[in-house]
C-alpha cells in the first residue's frame, strides 16, 4: 500500500512538473513582438542565439533551430545580449560577440540571421549590449555600452543601411554616479543593458547598474527630451530590484508593449540566493502614471517556462 501511494505521489509530481514546464534560463533577455507573436531571445548558447515563441506571454516554445548560428555572422564566442527589430520587411539582430557589436539580417524573426560579410561595427575598443531605436521621424540610433573606465552607455546614429554607425555622432549617455548604481564601490562602475522607448514627446532609457554578479544588480531609467539626451535619471530608481522581486541580481532586460496594450519588462535574475547562473528569465508588468513615471506591478511578476 505504501509503495502504491508513493508511486501515485511520484507520478503526480512528475505530471505537475511537466505541466509547469522547464524554467527558461536566458540572461539579458529581449522580447520582440511581430503581429500577435512574441519572440524571446537572450544570452544562453555558446554558438549563437536560440528563439522562443509565444502568443500569450505564458506558454513558450523553443524553436529547434538557432535564430543566429556561429559562422553565419560575426563572432566566435561570447554571444551576448541580442535585440531584434524590423525595418522595410526585413528583420535585424543587433548583438554582442567577441566583445564587439554586429548587426545581422533575416527574412523572418525566427532567423536565420546572417551577414554577407562577417564584420562588427567600426569603433575602437570593446563595446557590448546593443539596442537599436527607431525614432518617429525615421532616424535610427544605436545605444550600447563602451568598456572604458567602467561600463558606460553611449549612443550613435546608424547609417542608412543599418550595418554601421556614424562615429562622428558618438555621444556618452549614462555612467554610474548614484549610490544604488555602485553598491560595491567598485573601481569599475557598471551601467549597461540600455533599451529605449518614446512616449509622446519623451524618451525613456531603461538600464541596469552594478556588476551582474552583485545581488544589488538592478534596473533604473532616465528620461530625455531628445534621443541625444541629456538624460535625467528618475529619482525613484531603482525601479526593479531584489526589493521588488525578492530575487538577487534582477536586471538587464527589455521594455515592450503587449497585445493588451500594457507595458512589460523582461529581465533575468540569479538562479538562487547562493548561485548566479544559469540566470532565470522573468517578466513583470509596468504601469505609466499620469505624471509620466513608471511603476512596477509586483503581483504580475512571473518566471517564464518552456512548455
pTM here is: 0.93
| Closest to 255 measured CA to CA, from 26, 20, 18, 29 | 29
Question: For residue 36, how far is the Cα from the chain centroid?
Answer: 20
- Name the β-bridge partners of 54: 38
Kindly name the residue from 105, 129, 164, 192 that is annotated as catalytic. Answer: 192
CB 161 within 8 A of CB 140: no
What is the pLDDT, as a whole number, of residue 8?
35
pLDDT tens digit at each of 307 positions of the chain: 434 433 333 333 333 333 446 999 999 999 999 999 999 999 999 999 999 999 999 999 999 999 999 999 999 999 999 999 999 999 999 999 999 999 999 999 999 999 999 999 999 999 999 999 999 999 999 999 999 999 999 999 999 999 999 999 999 999 999 999 999 999 999 999 999 999 999 999 999 999 999 999 999 999 999 999 999 999 999 999 999 999 999 999 999 999 999 999 999 999 999 999 999 999 999 999 999 999 999 999 999 999 8
Domains and CATH numbers, the chain: 2-306 (2.115.10.20)
| Annotation marks residue 192 as catalytic | yes
SS3 track for 113-124: CECCCCCCCCCC
What is the pLDDT, as a whole number, of residue 21?
66
Kindly name the residue from 28, 105, 129, 254 that is annotated as catalytic. Answer: 28
CA distances from 105 to 74, 96, 141, 179, 194 (A): 12, 15, 17, 40, 21
Give CA angle at 233 (227, 235), nearest 5°.
145
| Annotation marks residue 36 as catalytic | no
DSSP-based three-state secondary structure for 264? strand
Give CA angle at 107 (102, 111), nearest 5°.
60
Amino acid at each position: 500500500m505504501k509503495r502504491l501511494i508513493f508511486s501515485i505521489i511520484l507520478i503526480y509530481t512528475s505530471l505537475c512538473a511537466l505541466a509547469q514546464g522547464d524554467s527558461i534560463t536566458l540572461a539579458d533577455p529581449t522580447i520582440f513582438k511581430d503581429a500577435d507573436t512574441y519572440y524571446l531571445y537572450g544570452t544562453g548558447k555558446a554558438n549563437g542565439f536560440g528563439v522562443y515563441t509565444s502568443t500569450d506571454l505564458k506558454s513558450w516554445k523553443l524553436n529547434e533551430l538557432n535564430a543566429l548560428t556561429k559562422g553565419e555572422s560575426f563572432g566566435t564566442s561570447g554571444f551576448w545580449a541580442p535585440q531584434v527589430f524590423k525595418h522595410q520587411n526585413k528583420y535585424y539582430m543587433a548583438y554582442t560577440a567577441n566583445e564587439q557589436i554586429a548587426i545581422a539580417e533575416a527574412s523572418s524573426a525566427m532567423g536565420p540571421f546572417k551577414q554577407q560579410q562577417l564584420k562588427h561595427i567600426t569603433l575602437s575598443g570593446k563595446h557590448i549590449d546593443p539596442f537599436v531605436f527607431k525614432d518617429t521621424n525615421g532616424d535610427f540610433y544605436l545605444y550600447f555600452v563602451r568598456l572604458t573606465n567602467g561600463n558606460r552607455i553611449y549612443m550613435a546614429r546608424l547609417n542608412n543601411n543599418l550595418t554601421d554607425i556614424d562615429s562622428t555622432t558618438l555621444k556618452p549617455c549614462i555612467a554610474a554616479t548614484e549610490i544604488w548604481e555602485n553598491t560595491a564601490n567598485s573601481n569599475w562602475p557598471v551601467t549597461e543593458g540600455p533599451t529605449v522607448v518614446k512616449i509622446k514627446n519623451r524618451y525613456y532609457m531603461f538600464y541596469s547598474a552594478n556588476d551582474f554578479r552583485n545581488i544589488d544588480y538592478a534596473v533604473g531609467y532616465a528620461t530625455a527630451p531628445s534621443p541625444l539626451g541629456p538624460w535625467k535619471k528618475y529619482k525613484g530608481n531603482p525601479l526593479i530590484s531584489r526589493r521588488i522581486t525578492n530575487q538577487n541580481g534582477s536586471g538587464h532586460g527589455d521594455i515592450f508593449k503587449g497585445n493588451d496594450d500594457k507595458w512589460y519588462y523582461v529581465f533575468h535574475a540569479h538562479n538562487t540566493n547562493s548561485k548566479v547562473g544559469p540566470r532565470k528569465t522573468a517578466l513583470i508588468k509596468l504601469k505609466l502614471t499620469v505624471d509620466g513615471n513608471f511603476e512596477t506591478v509586483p503581483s504580475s511578476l512571473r518566471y517564464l517556462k518552456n512548455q
